[in-house]
Amino acid sequence: MIDVVHDMQDVFRKLLHSMSRPGEISTIKPTTSQTNGWDCNEATYLTILTLLDAEVSFHIVSNKHKNVEKQIAEYTFARNVSIVEADFVIVLQGTEEQEILESMEKCKIGNLLDPQYAATWIFENERITKEGNLFLSGPGIQQQTTIQLDVTEPIIQARNERIKEFPLGIDMILTDATSQVACIPRTTKVVRNGGIQ
């Protein structure tokens, strides 16, 4: 079993670091590798255990992952709810693009009085790399940085539409199969194959 207190504190620190420095990649691994048979990558598993509890709700975009839904509810006591209510939206590998686009259109983005009541997306990738075709700029980034993700152009465009009315928007935590994590908060501008816009 993982050392819950030590490992979750370490994961939380790295997630905070990544959220304050968009596009910067961190590695998160437990003291003892053990995902308890979850149908997701280790970084996703650790992120879920760190951030979800009985006070929050979640939604898995694809209905192909009923086993993971059950495991999250049992381990964290978080509530499994519809996409329009979810505090955390989880996209596991193999989820269809159309399902993601429809969910992104419906998810919470907060309101002007309470912008913090927005969804945080936990988005699985096969591999996150530093040099890529997505250009990030904004707070926490010196001029511009790049990142490579398994995220299609329509999904990037849909994400950009949801953050147009700042401080409303969504925050994204990106995980991959090599235990890496990176974040793209709502304050970050993301463009493909181009400079700062």
Instruction: Report pLDDT for 8.
Output: 86
Is 197 inside any structural domain?
A: no
Residue 25 is assigned to a structural domain of this protein = yes
pLDDT of res. 4: 65
Q: What is the CATH number of the domain that holds 169?
A: 3.40.50.11310
User: What residue numbers bound the domain in which 91 lies?
Assistant: 4-192
Number of domains into which the chain is organized: 1
CB 119 within 8 A of CB 86: yes
pTM of the model: 0.93
Q: What's phi and psi for 192, nearest 5 deg?
A: -105, 135
Full pLDDT tens readout for the chain, 197 residues = 556 677 888 999 999 999 999 999 999 977 555 556 888 999 999 999 999 999 999 999 998 888 999 999 999 999 999 999 999 999 999 999 999 999 999 999 999 999 999 999 999 999 999 988 899 999 999 989 999 998 999 999 999 999 999 999 999 999 999 999 999 999 999 998 754 44
Q: What is the pLDDT of residue 135?
A: 96
Edge-to-edge strand list for the sheet holding 79-80: 26-27, 180-184, 171-176, 120-125, 88-91, 57-60, 79-80
